[in-house]
Amino acid sequence: MTESIATTTRPRSWLWPVIILALMLIPYLLAAFTGTPDEELTGLARWHSAAESVYCVNGISTISRILFAEVVLVAAAVALTQWQGSKWGRWGASLKLNGWYWFMLMLLVALPFIIAWQTETSVCSRGRAFFWESILVEVFIFAILAISYNLMFGFTGVVSFGHAAFFGLGAYTVGLTMRHWEWPWFLAVLGALLIGVVIALIKGFVGLRIKGLYFALFTLAFAEVFFILFANRIMVDITGAEDGFTFDVPDWLNFTQNRFFFYYLALLVLVACFVLVFRLMNSPTGRVLRAIRDNEERAQMLGFNTFQFKLLAIVLAGVMAAAAGVLRGLAFKGASPNVLGLDFTITPLLMTIIGGTATFSGPVIGAFSLRLIEELLRNKIVTIGSTEINIGERWSLILGAVFILSVMVFPYGIVGTWQSSRLRQWLGRRSSPGGS
Say if residue 433 is exposed, middle or buried (CB neighbours under 10 Å; 0-12, 13-18, 19+).
exposed
* 23-27, 41-45, 75-79, 83-87: least confident range: 83-87
The candidate with the shortest Cα–Cα distance to 325, out of 162, 166, 135, 139, is: 166
Helices (H) and strands (E) in the chain, counts: 18, 4
The Cα 321–Cα 314 span in angstroms is 10
Element (H, E) at 142: helix 128-150
Q: Helix, strand, or coil here: 381?
A: strand
Residue that wins the pLDDT comparison between 2 and 422: 422
pLDDT above 80: residue 433:
no
> Which residues, at least 6 apart from 428, have a Cβ–Cβ distance to it below 8 Å?
1, 435
pTM (whole model) above 0.85: yes
The Cα 423–Cα 409 span in angstroms is 15
pLDDT above 90: residue 5:
no
Partners of 388 in the β-ladder: 383
Q: How many CB atoms lie within 10 A of CB 238?
A: 13
pLDDT above 60: residue 430:
no
Q: Are 282 and 6 in contact (CB under 8 A)?
A: yes
Q: Are 374 and 395 in contact (CB under 8 A)?
A: yes
pLDDT on residue 420: 78
Per-residue pLDDT of 246-276, as tens digits, reads 999 998 899 998 999 999 999 999 999 999 9
Provide Rg for the chain, Cα atoms.
Answer: 23
Element (H, E) at 382: strand 381-384
The candidate with the shortest Cα–Cα distance to 341, out of 194, 224, 217, is: 224
Pick the most confident of 78-82, 85-89, 304-308, 374-378.
304-308
Query: Roughly how many angstroms between the first and final C-alpha of the chain, as a whole number?
Result: 18
> Which residues, at least 6 apart from 253, have a Cβ–Cβ distance to it below 8 Å?
185, 262, 265, 330
Per-residue pLDDT of 331-366, as tens digits, reads 999 999 999 999 999 999 999 999 999 999 999 999
Per-residue pLDDT of 295-314, as tens digits, reads 999 999 999 999 999 999 99
Q: Are 151 and 320 in contact (CB under 8 A)?
A: yes
pLDDT above 50: residue 245:
yes
Per-residue pLDDT of 273-294, as tens digits, reads 999 999 999 999 999 999 999 9
> Which residues, at least 6 apart from 222, have a Cβ–Cβ distance to it below 8 Å?
162, 165, 203, 207
The candidate with the shortest Cα–Cα distance to 60, out of 134, 132, 124, 115, is: 115
pLDDT averaged over the chain?
A: 88
The candidate with the shortest Cα–Cα distance to 194, out of 218, 169, 175, is: 169
| Torsion 72-32-17-287 (CA) sign | negative
Per-residue pLDDT of 315-332, as tens digits, reads 999 999 999 999 999 999
Per-residue pLDDT of 359-416, as tens digits, reads 999 999 999 999 998 888 877 777 777 777 777 777 778 778 888 888 888 888 999 8
The Cα 294–Cα 297 span in angstroms is 9
**Phi and psi, residue 384, nearest 5°:** -120, 105
Q: Are 357 and 417 in contact (CB under 8 A)?
A: no
pLDDT on residue 412: 87
pLDDT on residue 87: 67
pLDDT on residue 390: 78
The stretch 21-37 carries a mean pLDDT of 92
The Cα 315–Cα 413 span in angstroms is 26
> What is the percent of the chain where pLDDT is above 90?
67
pLDDT above 60: residue 431:
no
Per-residue pLDDT of 148-176, as tens digits, reads 999 999 999 999 999 999 999 999 999 99
pLDDT on residue 9: 45
The stretch 202-216 carries a mean pLDDT of 89
pLDDT on residue 422: 53
Q: Are 259 and 126 in contact (CB under 8 A)?
A: no
The Cα 226–Cα 167 span in angstroms is 11
pLDDT on residue 421: 67
The stretch 220-247 carries a mean pLDDT of 93
Q: Helix, strand, or coil here: 61?
A: coil
Q: CA-CA distances (angstroms) from residue 344 to 163, 321, 374, 379, 420?
A: 7, 10, 16, 22, 30
The stretch 79-106 carries a mean pLDDT of 81
pLDDT above 90: residue 436:
no
> Which residues, at least 6 apart from 205, have a Cβ–Cβ distance to it below 8 Å?
311
Angle at 425 between CA 423 and CA 431, to 5 degrees: 100
